[in-house]
Amino acid sequence: MSEKFGKRLADAVAARGPLCAGIDPHPGLIEAWGLPADASGLERFALGATEILAAETAIIKPQSAFFEAFGAPGIAVLERVIETARAAGALVLLDVKRGDIGSTMGAYTAAYVAGETALTADAITVSPYLGFGSLKPAIDMARANGRGVFVLARTSNPEAHALQNALLPNGKTVAQGIVDAAAEVNEGASPYGDVGVVVGATIGAGELDLGALNGPILAPGFGAQGATADDLRKLFGDDLKGVLAASSRDILKHGPDPAGLRDAVRRTRDSLRPPG
């Protein structure tokens, strides 16, 4: 793929807005749709949601763990979700949060962002907590194939605070160090680079300096976890440039009725438009 991920993402957001719609087939959600919490229910839930959400958003984010929980049949459904999303014109950010070293990290990346397998996504989430340098195989392979990675930096779960806000010898937080490392990789890219960061929409304003990142920001915590569009603007700026607001449960709870699901994703997407 010759075109860089950062450019493809910017074009998709310009056309469809900055909403990242999650496909999270939690057993409780599957049952709330009146479906059995088994592989057949997973398939009907995930594909039904994808058909609606992928037609309305720039990017969808399947949570791999909920598919993996069903074994091989679940992985087969995930492959169909990726295929369905692409057919509807959406990019796919596969939420796998892989993090390892050396050839093992390379193998994870080969599975998801290199080549053209049924699980190949446009981007994946990765964990830097074996050191940002351990992600080099993933970053290099993704960029060489026109794809991207989103690196966990400052996540919204309460347990992350002690680690991610710990101070490095240079006086910066661990999270800021991750953002700065991503910024180095993205330097000079236009409209922005292929290495994004994950920054929770519920963190405190001013915790991070994102001014030099030159890459996309995935902001979980929007919707069901409490963050509003106004909260996002306070944290990231009014135009939400480069920010992908991630919402899943707050949209998916409106299924299985297609009209209800479509109205919910459109309403959520439109709430992110610049004020005025």
Q: What pLDDT digit, counting tens, does each position of 105-116 carry?
A: 999 999 999 878
Helix (H, G, I), strand (E, B) or coil at 3: coil
Enumerate the active-site residues: 97
Q: Say what percent of the chain tops pLDDT 90.
A: 85
Q: What pLDDT score was predicted for residue 1? A: 63
Helix (H, G, I), strand (E, B) or coil at 153: strand
Q: What are the pLDDT digits (tens) for 229-259?
A: 888 998 898 878 899 999 999 999 999 999 9
pTM of this structure: 0.96
d(CA 97, CA 125): 5
Radius of gyration of the chain (CA): 18
Q: What is the mean pLDDT of the chain?
A: 94
> Quick check: 276 pLDDT over 80?
no
Q: What pLDDT score was predicted for residue 202? A: 85
Q: What are the pLDDT digits (tens) for 25-55?
A: 999 999 999 999 999 999 999 999 999 999 9
Q: What pLDDT score was predicted for residue 179? A: 98
Q: Which of 19-33, 134-148, 212-226 has the lowest mean pLDDT?
A: 212-226
Contact between 148 and 122 under an 8 Å Cβ cutoff? The reply is: yes
Per domain, the residue ranges of the chain are 5-270
Q: HSE of 26 in the Cβ direction (CA atoms, 13 Å)?
A: 10
> Quick check: 19 pLDDT over 80?
yes
Q: Identify the residue whose tokens are 């963050």.
A: 227
Is it true that domain 5-270 has CATH number 3.30.2020.30?
no
Contact between 67 and 77 under an 8 Å Cβ cutoff? The reply is: yes
> Quick check: 224 pLDDT over 70?
no
Q: Say what percent of the chain tops pLDDT 70.
A: 99
Q: What pLDDT score was predicted for residue 40? A: 98
The dihedral region occupied by 32, where left means phi > 0, alpha psi between -120 and 50, and beta the remainder, is alpha
